[in-house]
Structures are given as C-alpha cells and as structure tokens.
Chain A
C-alpha cells in the first residue's frame, strides 16, 4: 500500500521547500510531503536571494538597479516570463514572511550590492541580516578582517578589489589568527562553533571566551572605521547573538561576507526553511531517492497522470502516491539534470530536456561566455508543467520548479534564488489548489 498525500514535492532545496510551503498555504487541509535525497545545494550557495542582477544578453556589465523593471522584457520561455512578474513579487513577499527578521532588503525594490569574498560586489534583492551593515552602496569606511587559516578570504586583497570596483568608501583589510583555532585546516563550522558556544580559548594574555578573544584581537587594528566585516563564520545556531556581542564590544557595526561552500549563510537559510516546513505541517522524508514512477491512464483527455512514485529507503522500495507532484530536484549541480557522453536527461520522469546533439555544442570556449549547458533544463508551460518535444505536458499532474527548469542562466543573470522562489511558489500553489479542488 502506498503512502498517500495530496501534494508530493521531490527535492529539498529552495525551490522544493518553497513549493511545499506554498502548497500547504494554498490548501489548508492538504497533506503535503517533501522527499529529498542528498544534502541540498543550499550549502553551496551564498545565502543571498537574487532576483535578477543583470538582464540576459546585456553586455553592458552594469547591474540592474531595479530587477522588476527588467522582468517584463525577458525572452519567451524564461521561467520568470512563464510565471509573470506579479508572481515574482508574490513569491518574494511569501519568502519575506518565512524569513521574518533574518533577511533584509524588503524596504525597497532596488537591488543591493553585497561585497563577495573575492572582493567584487554582487547585486541581490534580499540578504541575510548578517550582511546588512556591509552593503557596498553604504558609504561608510570599512575594516575587513580575514584569518590566516581561512585561505578563501584575503581581507587586504578584498579591500583593494573593492577599491578597484569603485566602491564609494575606503576599505582596509587585516589578516589575524583566529583565537582558538589550533588546526590549520579546521572546517568553517569549527569557527562558528567556537563563537556559538563562546568556548574558552588560550590567548597571549591567558584564557578567555572566544568572542572576547576575537574582539581583543580585532580592537587593536580598528582605526576610525564604523563597521567591520568578517568572513561568514560568525556563529551558526546563535549567529545573531554572536554578531551582536561582537558589535557591542567593538563599538562598531559588524557584518559577514558571504563565502563559498560550505556556506554558513546557506545552511542557516536551510535551517529556517525546514523549521517553516515543520510549522506548516509538511511531512519531510529525507535521505531517500525517488527511483521510478508509475502512470495511470488519465481520466480525461489531458494526457497521462502519475499514479505514484517509488522511493528507495535503504534498499526497500516504498511507493508514495500524491494527487499532484512538484519536481524540484535541481539542475546539473543538484543532479536533477544528468548527462552522459550522448545526451542530457531528467533522470526521474525522463522529461524532455532540449540540448544539442553534439556535446561540443554544449559549451563555448570562454569560461564566462554564454554557456549553453548553464541553461539546460525542462521547458515548462505557464502552469510550470514540463512539456514534451511536441509542446504537450509530459504529465497532467507534474509541475517543475527551480533549477531543474531550463531556458535561463542563473549564474550570469544572478537569478537562481529568485527563480527557485517564484517557480516554487507558483508550482506549489497550483498543486495545492488542484489537489484539493
């Protein structure tokens, strides 16, 4: 006997969790389940919520001030064009509700420019509060602090890079040793843990808590800068508290620079989303792959329906049946889209993925050129149902969301989180409505 739900969401990243939350919100008594396999790619992500930083095809190198201005002009088939700009706004409002006071940026339609760990700046629509004091359009002088055991972020270099990028403030960088880090290759979670729990550490002047030790280390380098930026290792579970303590004791505003994987801001966002799923009564089954599906003849002429999928739980094959399905398994990185030497495919439902026959047409020679592979993914209709090569829905009760969708290059546009939110929101809402109709 199958496990029965109204809406079954496959995939536990930003798109999947948003879809599950939207389904639960749109149909109050619907049973919603989310199944995930591997760790979500949120831990690879900066934790910033980009909507659109650059208009596709625009080589002017100028970031968009207002992403909503550009939404109307996107090419047909772009996921934003599919759902419409109002849905993008609705999805963002939905996210703002979930994120609560953990994210900022909702006071304006304008993009923010957030310094990156490479020292450049990046346009984004919403940012974790931990990065809020560091915005590059804020003209206050800045001290950047790096740590000699964290080679990903070189603070003096990042400060010079910001200057080269024309940021409207003086930035200075220093490199310190992080109190309490004894191994040169400690993981970033170790840094966060030291601060979260204010562990006792040895310093030149005796034993003290890690937070105070860090304050002492930074203090002597601080000149008149009213704000200090650190790589994003300032706590995990108690990040706000850590930041506030550092801020109070240093007497300046403290912010974080988002980092590459594993990214604490990404993991904190993931935590928040899973808390929201629990609050919304969504059932979550994690660590299990969906390995196959069964169809049933449709009860009308709208095509095939998925009857149930089969989930592999430690070798046992367990059928899960939903009325409606949302596929949010990610793109090439998340393995929602796969490839071999001959072709590109979607592994669970074998939905149509347009791609050139010759794999040498999947890429261009400039690493940052317009890469065709970056846009690999499913082609959806306006309901976000994946379409087959003839433009017909693959299944009547399957929708897709996030980077499993194709037709856009989130890396170039800086639109990854926004597309996940907007399509997750629309797919989840429609699925909830259909399931309880």
Chain B
C-alpha cells in the first residue's frame, strides 16, 4: 500500500515549517501537522531577536559563528521579516571589565562585526540609556517577526505542494515492530482550514519517514512510541511595552542573568527574559515577580521603563536538550545547540528522527541539516536551496518600496502594510473594494485581514499572527469585533461568534499580566465596550434558554 505522504513533519514552529519548506523545495511530498495555530508553541513566544551571535560569543563560539552566518542569510532571503536594528551590549559600572573585553574578542573571533562605543556615543544612538552606562559593543543584532517568517515558510512549502494541517493534534504514533510508519491525528474541525464549531475527525496518516520537530513537546511525541526523548523545557517571560523605548537591541554585557535584553519589535519593545526549568511545557506558573523583575532590572539600563506602559506579558518554553550524562543543573548552562536524534541509531526504532534544542535564528540551518538527513534516509539526492531562494514576500522588496503609495491608503498605513506583506503587497492590497482600516493601533486594513482569512479559515488568532491586528495598545478591545465581522458571510453567525470569543479571551490572557496604570484603564474600557455597549457577556444568543421579548418595553 502506498504511503499517504513521503515525509510527515510534526510541529508547526519555525523548525517544522523550515523543514517542510526545505523538503518540499527538494521535490519531496510533505505533510506538516501542528497541534494549534502555526507558531503556537515556542516560535510565537520568543522575543523576536535575530541574533548576531554576540550573545554566545564568549560561552559558545560554535553557536555564535552559526548565528552570524544565518543572520546574514535571513536578512537576504527573509528581508520582509527582519528589521536591521543593530544591537548594543552595554556595560554598567558594576559589570566586569574582563567580561566586556572577552565579549569583544569573542565577537571578533567568530566573525561578528563589533565596535566599541563610549557611554556618550551609546547614548547618542539610544538617548534613553541610563547615564551611568559606561560603554557598549555594537553588533549586527536584528529584530525578526517570528510569525511572519514561520508563516512564509509554511506558505512556500504549500506552494511547493506540501499539505499543512493546523489544529491537528498527533494522538498516536503508528508503530509496527521496530518501525514507525505514521501517526493518528485528531483534526479539531476536520482536515483543511479550521472552522469553528465544526466537528472534528481523526485520521491515520502514513509516511515513509516522520520528523518529530515538536521542540519542548518532543518527549511527549516520543513517548507515544515508547521512546525516551529527554527534553528539558525551560520557561522564560517576555513583557511587551506599548512603544519602542529603544530602536536598537539592548543587551546587558555581563556573563549571564535574567532580564538582560530589550528588543524593539514593530510598534513595541519586548523585555526578556528568565530561564527556569519546568516539568510540563503546557502547564507552568506565570508569576507576577517575573514581570516585575523584567521591569525593575531592565530599568537599570533604560530608566524610563520604570514608568512606561506594558500591554501584556507572555511566557515561552525553550526546548532545551543535552545528551544523557552531561548533568547540567542550571538551565542557563545548557547548550543552545540542537541535536538530531535518529531513533534507528539510538533506539533501534526506524522511521523517525527527533530534532531538539536549537534556537530561532538558526532554524534554517537546522532545517537544512535535518532535510539532508531525511534525504539520505530516503535516498534522495536533491540539494538545499533555502539559503538562496527568498521566501514569499521577500522576492523584490526594492521595487515595492518605490511604489508604496499606489494602494490608496494613507501613507503610514501603506507603509506598515507593505512592510508586513513585502512583495506580496500588490497582490493583497490591489483591490477595487473599499479597504478601511480594521485595526487602528497597527494600521491593518480589510484587504490584509481578508487575505489572512483566506489562508487560515475562521481562526482569528491565525489572522492575528499574519497581520498584527489586535496586537497593539488596545489589545483587540476596539478591533476584535471588526476582525470577526470580516469572517461573514463566508462563515455563519455562530462560527463568527465562536471565533470572536476565542480571540477576545486569548488577548485577555496576556493582558492580565499588565493590569496596572494605563493598561488597566484600557482593560476596563475594553471590558465596558464589550460588556456594556455590546452586551457580549450576557449575549442572549449564547443563553441556554430564550427569554420573553414581549415583556419588555416595545415602544410607546
């Protein structure tokens, strides 16, 4: 019996989508399964730093070298997902001089362009830096949109014939003797694009080879076939500010520590992070002190953060892994390198390789190596082209920027839209239909929202990650409803209502960690708009029983 697909990739994060694209470009038949929305796991929960490698230039020079190589490749093939902010490693009076020197030399050893700025020069670049920052090393760090990048990989995989299934949870590995030959998957709402309120189905998908790219969840997948994959999930918090206090990445130049980086990201700045091992990647405490620590510690570098408005906080889990027997106790000491666990070699079970560890900046290189491995297994000789072929959206950015005003949008909106869409802007924005702004905070128009709906069905969180709608100051208070309106009439009223509720609750989840000052005021306004003005909290359409309209005032 023929297999349903040649390669089955489990996990729709950057690694999984990168592998799917790579293999599909090499002509293989690929199916990718993701439990939630693309980027739902670790990828969508990072601080958006495109490493220069500077961060690892002392502790892990192999990683540092790999980072700067990949950094340069991504600026090229994924230019619409990258902002070339550059970055500073800043030194405070209490931070050791020796380390500063080591960092500088390490960067140079690894081929990372680095130059030293005096405190005054650093403050010329970033005026809000603390007065007592004594000096800084400038490196080519960048900001990257992990959502956009991951989706672009998935889209291109699809363009090359891959099947991408989101909201598709693997519930079992199919194993016969010592061979894994597929999975059983539960589709939340049937195969294909997600539609709310549609009953789910299960499906068996057989494949010649399975790649387990589920990161922090790799152990859970392995366990389905009695394989021991000992990932060590480690959580980190990130706090989002409502404006960019800095335009370059600010790193603290000291050996290690929590709360040592600020990444400017689109309209926001993201503070990170902590590093704490957890036992379950789906269930770990999200604590107040972690948020406070971000603000308090990073205010030492950029004092205005103390009084600034945060719009939400979120936690991510790293898929840390170290080979058995290494015995590292502190998660910050565990290598960020990745490991390819061929279960045939390791466990005598053929048909599957797990990929663990690694980091976002090097996702493409990881994907290349795994794809090489899979191709070797399958006897395929095609070579990797992902370092040269631009991702959809990044093919011809220059031509686009020249013609930015052509879509009849106010220029700031047009600028934001074209930056997000890259070279797809024309295809998406050229419309004869009215194209009002749906999300005021992020300047997202109807055309972009509809394009995202076409890609992802009634899943408004998938629309969100493609467009940034609902990710600004109001955290969806003003625009969730408008986003949901765009689902109709393709989707019926009950579907739209369910999709809206899901997005509204998702936005609330992260905002809970920012509830003081301006954002608490915003939260009350959002609550009032939805509960008072629209009565969404007591929507009669959601009630189990109807009520008697005739008893109410029917007019004079």
Once bound together, how far apart are the Cα atoms of A140 and B536, in whole Å? 24
Which residues of B does A touch, CB under 8 Å? 288, 292, 295, 408-410, 413, 433-438, 445-446, 478, 481-482, 485-486, 488-489, 492-494, 496-497, 504-505, 508-509, 512, 515-517, 520-521, 523-525, 527-547, 549-556
Among B434, B536, B553, the one with the most A-chain Cβ atoms within 10 Å of its Cβ is B553
Q: A333 with B524: in contact, given A61-B544, A368-B537 (CB under 8 Å)?
A: yes
Residues of B within 8 A of A331 (CB): 524
Q: A150 with B436: in contact, given A110-B552, A161-B541, A411-B537 (CB under 8 Å)?
A: yes
The answer to whether A44 and B528 have CB atoms under 8 Å apart is yes
The answer to whether A333 and B528 have CB atoms under 8 Å apart is yes
A111 interface residue per 8 A CB criterion? yes
Flag A404-432 by CB within 8 Å of B: 1 or 0 each.
00000011101010000000000000000
Residues of B within 8 A of A385 (CB): none
The answer to whether A160 and B493 have CB atoms under 8 Å apart is yes
A137 interface residue per 8 A CB criterion? yes
Residues of B within 8 A of A104 (CB): 555-556
Flag A297-324 by CB within 8 Å of B: 1 or 0 each.
0000000000000000000000000000
Q: A61 with B538: in contact, given A110-B551, A110-B553 (CB under 8 Å)?
A: yes
Q: 10 other contacts beyond A157-B485, A160-B493, with CB at 8 A cut-off?
A: A63-B538, A112-B554, A117-B534, A121-B540, A149-B436, A151-B482, A168-B549, A185-B437, A365-B509, A367-B527
Q: A157 with B515: in contact, given A62-B543, A333-B528 (CB under 8 Å)?
A: no
Q: Which residue of B lies closest to A118 (CB)?
A: B534
Q: A363 with B533: in contact, given A132-B555, A138-B554, A177-B434 (CB under 8 Å)?
A: no
A391 interface residue per 8 A CB criterion? no
Residues of A within 8 A of B488 (CB): 154, 156-157, 160
Once bound together, how far apart are the Cα atoms of A374 and B535, in whole Å? 15
Residues of B within 8 A of A371 (CB): 527
The answer to whether B534 and A333 have CB atoms under 8 Å apart is no
The answer to whether B552 and A118 have CB atoms under 8 Å apart is no
Once bound together, how far apart are the Cα atoms of A338 and B516, in whole Å? 8
The answer to whether B437 and A166 have CB atoms under 8 Å apart is no
Once bound together, how far apart are the Cα atoms of A338 and B397, in whole Å? 46
Once bound together, how far apart are the Cα atoms of A54 and B543, in whole Å? 14
Q: A367 with B505: in contact, given A117-B534, A333-B528 (CB under 8 Å)?
A: yes
Which residues of A does B touch, CB under 8 Å? 44-46, 50, 53-54, 61-63, 65, 104-105, 107-108, 110-113, 116-123, 132-133, 135-139, 148-154, 156-157, 160-161, 163-168, 177, 184-185, 258-261, 263, 331-333, 335, 338-341, 358-360, 362-363, 365-368, 371, 373-374, 410-412, 414, 416
The answer to whether B556 and A261 have CB atoms under 8 Å apart is no
Contact of B532 among A65, A112, A340, A416 (CB under 8 A): A416
Those 7 A-B pairs whose CB atoms lie nearest each other, nearest first: A160-B493, A112-B553, A367-B508, A411-B531, A164-B541, A154-B485, A332-B524
Contact of A157 among B413, B493, B534 (CB under 8 A): B493
The answer to whether B549 and A359 have CB atoms under 8 Å apart is no
Q: A120 with B512: in contact, given A138-B554, A411-B527 (CB under 8 Å)?
A: no
The answer to whether B555 and A138 have CB atoms under 8 Å apart is yes
The answer to whether B288 and A120 have CB atoms under 8 Å apart is no
Once bound together, how far apart are the Cα atoms of A338 and B550, in whole Å? 42
The answer to whether A165 and B529 have CB atoms under 8 Å apart is no
Once bound together, how far apart are the Cα atoms of A110 and B550, in whole Å? 11
Residues of A within 8 A of B446 (CB): 151
Q: A122 with B521: in contact, given A110-B551, A166-B547, A367-B504 (CB under 8 Å)?
A: no
Q: Which residue of B lies closest to A341 (CB)?
A: B516
The answer to whether B524 and A166 have CB atoms under 8 Å apart is no
The answer to whether A151 and B436 have CB atoms under 8 Å apart is yes
The answer to whether A374 and B505 have CB atoms under 8 Å apart is no
Q: Which residue of A lies closest to B413 (CB)?
A: A185
Residues of B within 8 A of A150 (CB): 436
The answer to whether A374 and B435 have CB atoms under 8 Å apart is no
Residues of B within 8 A of A117 (CB): 533-534
Q: A152 with B481: in contact, given A332-B524, A362-B515 (CB under 8 Å)?
A: yes
The answer to whether B525 and A333 have CB atoms under 8 Å apart is yes
Contact of A148 among B434, B529, B550, B553 (CB under 8 A): B434
Residues of A within 8 A of B521 (CB): 332-333, 335
Residues of A within 8 A of B544 (CB): 61
The answer to whether B517 and A340 have CB atoms under 8 Å apart is yes
Q: Which residue of A lies closest to B487 (CB)?
A: A157
| 17 A-B pairs with C-beta separation under 8 A | A44-B528, A65-B552, A111-B552, A112-B555, A119-B493, A121-B540, A136-B552, A149-B436, A151-B437, A152-B481, A164-B494, A166-B549, A168-B550, A185-B413, A335-B521, A341-B516, A373-B523
Residues of A within 8 A of B542 (CB): 61
Residues of B within 8 A of A338 (CB): 517
Once bound together, how far apart are the Cα atoms of A368 and B515, in whole Å? 15
Q: Which residue of A lies closest to B440 (CB)?
A: A185
Q: Which residue of A lies closest to B525 (CB)?
A: A333
Q: Give min CB distance, A336 to chain B, whole Å.
A: 10
Among A137, A167, A335, A366, the one with the most B-chain Cβ atoms within 10 Å of its Cβ is A137
Residues of A within 8 A of B551 (CB): 65, 110, 137
Q: Which residue of A lies closest to B544 (CB)?
A: A61
Q: A135 with B436: in contact, given A157-B493, A414-B532 (CB under 8 Å)?
A: no
Once bound together, how far apart are the Cα atoms of A112 and B550, in whole Å? 10
The answer to whether A260 and B541 have CB atoms under 8 Å apart is no
Q: A411 with B540: in contact, given A112-B553, A365-B512 (CB under 8 Å)?
A: no
The answer to whether B533 and A165 have CB atoms under 8 Å apart is no
The answer to whether B524 and A373 have CB atoms under 8 Å apart is yes
Q: Give min CB distance, A213 to chain B, whole Å.
A: 16
Q: A107 with B556: in contact, given A63-B547, A164-B494 (CB under 8 Å)?
A: yes
Once bound together, how far apart are the Cα atoms of A62 and B521, in whole Å? 29
Contact of B531 among A123, A258, A358, A412 (CB under 8 A): A412
Q: Give min CB distance, A75 to chain B, whole Å.
A: 19
Q: Which residue of B lies closest to A136 (CB)?
A: B549
Contact of B555 among A44, A119, A120, A135 (CB under 8 A): A135
Residues of A within 8 A of B550 (CB): 137, 168
The answer to whether B549 and A120 have CB atoms under 8 Å apart is no
